[in-house]
Structure 1
Amino acid sequence: MAPPRILLCGDVFGRLNQLFKRVSSVNKSAGPFDSLLCVGQFFPDSPDSLEEFTNYIEGRSSIPIPTYFIGDYGIASPKVLSAALKDSANQGFKMDGLKICENLYWLKGSGNFALHGLSVAYLSGRHSTSSQQFGTYSQDDVDALRALAEEPGIIDLFLTNEWPSGVMNRASASDLPPEISDSSGSDSNISQLVAEIKPRYHIAGTKGVYCAREPYANVEAVHVTRFLGLAPVGNKNKQKFIHAISPAPASTMSAAEICMKPPNTTLSPFTSVENAVHNEGVAKRPSDTGSDSQYWRYDVSQKRQKGDGDGSKPCFKFLSSGSCPRGENCHFRHDGDAREQCMRGVCFDFLNKGKCERGLECNFKHTLLEEGESLPNRRPRSGNADANRSKDCWFCLSSPKLESHLITSIGEHYYCALAKGPLVQDHVLMVPVEHLPNTLSLSPECEMELARFQSSLKMYFNNQGKEVVFFELVFKRGTHANLQVVPIPSSKASAVQRIFDLAAEKLGFKFVVMKNDNNSEGRKLLRMQFNNNCSLFYVELPGGTILSHSVEENEKFPVQFGREVLAGLLNVADKADWRNCKFSKEEELKMAESFKNEFEEYDPNR
């Protein structure tokens, strides 16, 4: 088969008439092209372009070829994207794009999908410390892409809005656009990602200039990366805003084709000369030490220049799981002390960079154990046993961060609380009093109390004409466990297993099914199956059937999987993100009081 033909475009700024006129012209003279991929701001930057933009969204003007965009910010973006999330056609997992209108698809968050045989990865939104719903990416989006670095296969195209910081290091002077700098439109997170993912093509916008950098070699990869920066549609300097490529998918290429390096290949801009010369066929160039020293955080061979100690960048896989499939060949540091810090809840960005840009919004610690301070005993202990851990935990009863006004009932081993940002009314959490990473490793006494709580909740919701879905995502490096309890209309109970199976199919796995009418026996089988050395997702359906899935080491598994699936079932896709469901403290107090009054006669701890 002939390689796919793809058009690439920079910031659109809502100028769809000009964009699609050019696309139609190029398609007629040099096409046909299969798809158009847009990076940079897609939505208008002023009200002047809004009517033109809306004509396409509402179908009065047509889009000539399938178009995908990641620049989900600008005028009208919240309105258009919120409507797309509520569309029933966009329910479930759509890493290959949420449909906005005919031939227009929004690549949300981060992901990796196949496009005409090409492997396409993307990071939507811009880097920002704010928590706005649209236009910015989250740490979860970044972490999901990091996992791609360990997966087999080669990423063909990587789409980002902003440029990676330092990408023009070691480029020839002729490749440097005028007045280019890292002061704006560049992102250090993208530098880290592209150095780990190693795509064949990296396409970005935002800078306002066109740039086709010389291909550069990658450390521990045989193929080169080509970076393309594209100018905005209709820019005054008439710089190139649309570019055509026709790459053969890496999955169809021979080893010799993949290894081929053009004569003008340079060293990687993100690694030191000493490490990069091991790439076969790359000529060694003198390095600008002043420039290189600014990018030590991406330099896997140099030592970090920090006052509190040396060491190369810590391995994300090792910190998160305790092992790394590359073993001694990994060029990141396998630091047991750093892993212990991570296990105690220290922020990965803080360990990696010395700071975390999420600030107070981050749920992890931004302090290290002091020198000589012993690490905590890993054996199960009471909730008050570790004062430091309790202080920072959102669920420990002794923690100042606990939102105690949401608690509705407290037993000896478990307490019940309304969920923060509930998916539906009376969405509650079952939380162990003891600070433990999951509910499957608790004592038989704890399990008996949990069974009583579950039975009481089922009776309470059954009397309202509802069924209950219980689910838990168990992390190997989890902090404080919680079992999610979501009531659903009885009319939808028969569809729950089907929608979970469909979601699993989209992610490439099948659930292990345990059918048992006795709830305690079902959980007993689940506990026997559970291995503390792996992560696990499980869901108990109405009727007692339990679906479980052991999450593999390198598997990309959505943290909010259970919530997102149920949001699709209930046709409330916009509530899949709990941040869209926030209430004031006064409203939460009223909700908690109402639940306590109505649940009182069923409460095993009344």
Structure 2
Amino acid sequence: MAAPVKILALGSANGSIKELFAKIKAIDNKHGKFDLALCVGDFFGKPKESGAVEDTEAAGEDEILLMLDEKLDAPIECYIMQGENPLPDVVIHKFSKTGGELCKNVFLMSKSGLVTTASGLRIACLGGAFEPSIYSTSEVAPGFASPFFSEQTVEKLLSNSLTKSTSASSLDLNYKSLASIQSSSSSSQFVDIFVTNVWPARITDFSSTPLPSLPSSRIGAPPLDDICRHLRPRYHFAAGAPSEGREQQPVFWEREPFSWDESGNGNGRLSRFISLGSFSATAPVGGKKQRWFYAFSIAPETNSVAVQRPNNASKNPFMEVRHRKRPFQEIQSSQGENYIFGDVKQPVKRSRIETGDGKPPPGYKCRRCDSTEHFISHCPERQKPPEGYVCRICNTPGHLVRDCPSSSQNAVGDTGGRKPKAGYVCRACGNEGGHYLDDCPVVTQRGGGGGKRGPPKEIGPDECWFCLSNPNLAKHLIVSIGEECYVTLPKGQIIPTQSAVSSNTLKRFPPIVPGGGHVLIVPITHYPTYNTIPTDLAPPIVEETEKYKLALRSFYAKHACHPIFFEISRLSARGAKGVHAHIQCVPLPQSIKSEEVEEAFLSEGRAQGIDFEGDAESALGINARAGGYFKVDLPDGKKMLHLMKPGVPFGIQFGRQVLTSILGFPSRVDWKACTLSEEEDKADAEAFKKGFGAFVSWT
């Protein structure tokens, strides 16, 4: 069994950095030696108000600047996180430059980070506060400059937790090993330690440990319940107060441990939850100073070690099955005992039809024809349209709208199966021109089709074609993995290879780039588009994207080709949460000049009503974040930009349509008609990866 790691967990410092370091040193000297410290909650505290007056000496001794300038020494390795407040700009700037190391022994974990220590411990972090309206509706994932986390923050954390890497060279490991990505479907998401600023919503369920204060009936953040089910941390530390009010002081509360072993044999995985008080708190909570530190030892987990269930263990609050809600019909027919009033018969709703032959009761008269033999719903007169009636759908007499063969209420979906206009793209599955959203099989399978219903469910990361957390992702097509992005061959690439190559296509354009060469550059984190990446998190992603572009240019040049890059940036009214940002890159023979490509886009654009801006760079800077755009990087470096207009359709296959026309492969517009077998896909990926590897030495 691996040697245990001794850890000191600490509550919010709130800017008292010098004093906290002194306390850590004192505790370490008395009870150590500790291997590392985990500082949960707010380390830097609230941002200073602009215009605040401070004396020169105090301003010169600012503890944050002293720490960043290596003038405040942390006695042991300290891992810190974001708490209730935005991080100071100087800290964000330092983080973007170093990837997390703020100074010697002080490391800032990402808002949705994963750290694997040298000893093998996996530490997950979710920073920030929970605000339901921001979490569920924000189109841009909040970065360190925001005090909140969002759905995208959570998605990145769950994606990061899939890695098998044990390297501690990066705080946010993401996916540094291509081999680990390709085998990630069998890897575990479990972590040893989880640090958050807020509590899970169900953490107090089945606990008999008294809470120190409970000013609100709502406790914690519901999204954390699902995260805990995925990560199953052995220790979970939080610093936030257990209420809706963000101004309340954090409290100390240690919950009874609980097991993830459903069989109850005592050998299952155990979790412990500890909330820590604030280190810098001045006012006591509940009449006493809240405990703000917690020392413990934990050994890296091995499969051979059985965990015994403690005597004080409770039911698991995240796995207890909730009783299903009884249908009204079942309650209505129940003759059982009422839990309040005893044995009381449930009233039965009287049927409209009292007689056994289906006829109306005595005295009933049809309001349409005055007959007493049928209800109005079965009246023959009701089935006939009034004199002079013309169907509004097909403009012909003789039938009502509900009976119109063109309407076909029995057809699929709310739109009766009618075909959309050219250019319409289904938001659920991405199909162009095939059906409306209401008729989409994806929506129908989720219970969304037909009749009155709520808004369609957006595609989540577990269904997203490009999210690494999707177990159905075609990982065998991935050819390179970096810190922030990965490169993959698409399914059904434009360039024909192997069995897709006929003698005619070989003469026209042989696949001179190994594996075909059509690839996608994809950010690892799920962002709908490049222009929705938070400004404080965008620089490393954009920088690595440009590095991949440069590497592809060099690789293609070796094979007498040059690349064309194109990107579609488009958000729906709901933020297009099912879309994942990516840039497509296609190699063209150097015999096809950049001017020819530009003219092809302009010509096809005029035919489809797609115009391009005169000054792409200026237009992109002014308008890109305000709406959608289609962007092309030509082989000579010139950029083309089309700004999408509200209500005007734009075909998502426009870029592919132009390029297949240039290359003489018009039949390859639809990627679904160009797919190969998995064996051939793997062969293409291996061929491309073998040649491309020498050009991406930084990965």
**TM-score between the two structures when normalised by the length of structure 1:** 0.49
Structure ID, larger Rg: 2
**TM-score between the two structures when normalised by the length of structure 2:** 0.43
